[in-house]
Amino acid sequence: MEIMVQINRLIQHWQNQGIEIVPKSAEEIENFESMIHQLLPADFKFLYSRVNGMSSFFPNEIDNEGFLFYPLESILPSEQEFAGFALAENHKLYVFAEYMHKSWWYGLEINQDGNYTIGIIPDKLIFKPITDSLLEFLVLYIENSPKLYDYE
């Protein structure tokens, strides 16, 4: 399974930087889904079952490049993160990562059909799609691709 390979690469990438790796249980993930009234895509569930983002904001605030992946319990709908501004009208958009202490964010837009898009959020009114694959997003992140910094 290719997503497992990339998540293992992510874990190794973070361990090399001293970032704590803490998984979430299936029950914790289901409780989160119940709380937000939204099912997460299967690959995101798998990610959080292996590593709960950067589970400690301090001292693991950011990685060496300035990224912070939110732990599951800190993922917010865009309207909460951006004080009432909803970027997605017919979809659910959740902020799951940020760059350089909220210089910009990364969001997961879940469509009504269950498909999703991951994009960059340079400000509270713009969502620029990057990929429709967590697998690709992780590859871009681990390889420090310029695509992750292109918010215009």
Domain parsing of the chain, residue ranges: 2-149
pTM higher than 0.95, yes or no?
Answer: no
Q: What is residue 85's predicted lDDT score, i.e. its pLDDT? A: 64
Residue 47 corresponds to which tokens in the numbers above?
């990610």
The C-alpha R_g of the chain, in whole angstroms, comes to 14
Topology (CATH level 3) of domain 2-149: SMI1/KNR4-like (3.40.1580)
Q: What is residue 95's predicted lDDT score, i.e. its pLDDT? A: 94
Contact by Cβ (8 Å): 2, 137: no
Q: First and final CA of the chain: distance in angstroms? A: 34
What is the per-residue pLDDT across 9-65, written as a single tens digit (0 to 9) for each? 999 999 999 999 999 999 999 999 999 999 999 999 999 999 999 976 666 679 999
Phi first, then psi, for residue 47 (nearest 5°) are: -55, -50
Residue 102 corresponds to which tokens in the numbers above?
């909220």
What is the per-residue pLDDT across 70-85, written as a single tens digit (0 to 9) for each? 999 999 888 888 876 6
Contact by Cβ (8 Å): 42, 4: no
Contact by Cβ (8 Å): 93, 107: yes
What is the per-residue pLDDT across 92-115, written as a single tens digit (0 to 9) for each? 899 999 999 889 999 999 988 889
Residue 87 corresponds to which tokens in the numbers above?
């970027």
Q: What is residue 57's predicted lDDT score, i.e. its pLDDT? A: 65
Residue 65 corresponds to which tokens in the numbers above?
């490049």
Residue 58 corresponds to which tokens in the numbers above?
């301090």
Q: Which residue has the higher pLDDT, 116 or 57?
A: 116
Nearest Cα to 75, choosing from 118, 123, 113? 118
Q: What is residue 61's predicted lDDT score, i.e. its pLDDT? A: 76
Q: Is the pLDDT of residue 7 over 80?
A: yes
